Amino acid sequence: MSRKVVVALGGNAILSDDPSAEAQKSALEQTAKYLVQLIANGDELIITHGNGPQVGNLLLQHIESDSPENPAFPLDSLVAMTEGSIGYWLQNALQNELEKNNIDKSVASVVTQVVVDKEDDAFKDPSKPIGPFYTEEEAKAEMEKTDATFKEDAGRGWRKVVASPKPVRINEIESIKSLIEAGQVVVAAGGGGIPVVETDNGLDGVEAVIDKDFASQQLAHEIDADLFIVLTGVDYVYINYNKENQEKLEEVRVSQLQDYIKEDQFAPGSMLPKIEATIAFVDGHENRKSVITSLENLEELIRSGAGTTIKN
């Protein structure tokens, strides 16, 4: 019986030092070689991905060319644009790799709206920096002209900050389920999905970014996946990382991870959201598992279960 597996790709699976489209397409061609191993293993594969650097670059391009004749787009539209372009590159790379391996599967990418709560506390205190650096004077002038929030960023200057609310539901979930049931490989919720809120007139996009790992977890939960894999730059999660008593975690329970979180073992903005997302997926579900590992370790994960496995 095949498993439903959601794989959340880390940024290193898409972007190298070269931000050109060709370089990113080339990186995804290599990524596809690893991902196809799961399909060859008989798994139903659903893929999510980040878009932080890409949406940041696109935002800079729009700010640079902003004019009445060519106005800059809002952030939700930029998220949609990068979700579409990365989805296209990944869809193309996977389809070509499947054909090379004589696997008869189709790949579909879904531009995904993710509903967030307009009352989420994140909107009251925006904290996610985006866009270029400004001087304090420039930032204050921008704040006077718009309702945007700017904050000083680690002594490097001032940057616009937006909310990073938690996902509530995946709007296109029924379409995604239909594609999975039809046996297709699905790319969805890219970049955390396009943040939208419910209004009296329907869904409306907002200036926010959703953490990719939390959106991926929400997707995995809503399709009732068997396995949620978060790919990052290391093969295993460690406690006491980079210290003499560093310890590799191979199989760990939710309760243990919660204790490690209280000990501040995992870096905020790095490993911590991955840990929190995997906990949210398995907590209270005996038949679910999460794994945190690297893209390069996927073959060993399939073969021997290598990587950090999280169970209830």
pLDDT by residue, tens only, the chain of 312 residues: 689 999 999 876 787 778 899 999 999 999 999 999 999 999 999 999 999 889 989 998 998 998 999 999 999 999 999 999 999 999 999 999 999 999 999 999 999 999 999 999 999 999 999 888 999 999 999 898 888 899 998 888 999 999 999 999 999 999 999 999 999 999 999 999 999 999 999 999 999 999 999 999 999 999 999 999 999 999 999 999 989 999 999 999 999 999 999 999 999 888 999 999 999 999 999 899 999 999 999 999 999 999 999 999
Cα–Cα dist 225/235, whole Å: 22
Crossing angle of helices 75-100 and 21-40, in 10° steps, is 50
Catalytic residue among 51, 192, 212, 307: 212
Catalytic residue among 192, 193, 274, 307: 274
212 is annotated as an active-site residue: yes
Name residues whose C-beta falls within 8 Å of residue 104's C-beta, 6 or more positions apart in sequence. 98
274 is annotated as an active-site residue: yes
| pLDDT of the residue at 285 | 92
Catalytic residue among 128, 131, 193, 289: 128
Cα–Cα dist 61/207, whole Å: 17
233 is annotated as an active-site residue: no
Crossing angle of helices 212-222 and 271-282, in 10° steps, is 10
25 is annotated as an active-site residue: no
Cα–Cα dist 150/283, whole Å: 37
- Phi/psi at 35 (nearest 5 deg)? -65, -35
Catalytic residue among 10, 11, 87, 190: 11
Query: What domains sit in the chain, N to C, each tagged with a CATH number?
Result: 13-126+163-225 (3.40.1160.10), 228-311 (no CATH)
248 is annotated as an active-site residue: no
Catalytic residue among 12, 92, 96, 171: 12
Give the Cα-Cα-Cα angle 73, 93, 115 (nearest 5 degrees). Answer: 40
Task: Name the nearest CA neighbour of 195 among 180, 179, 214, 208.
Answer: 208
- In total, the chain counts a number of residues equal to 312
| pLDDT of the residue at 280 | 97
Q: Is the pTM of this model over 0.85?
A: yes
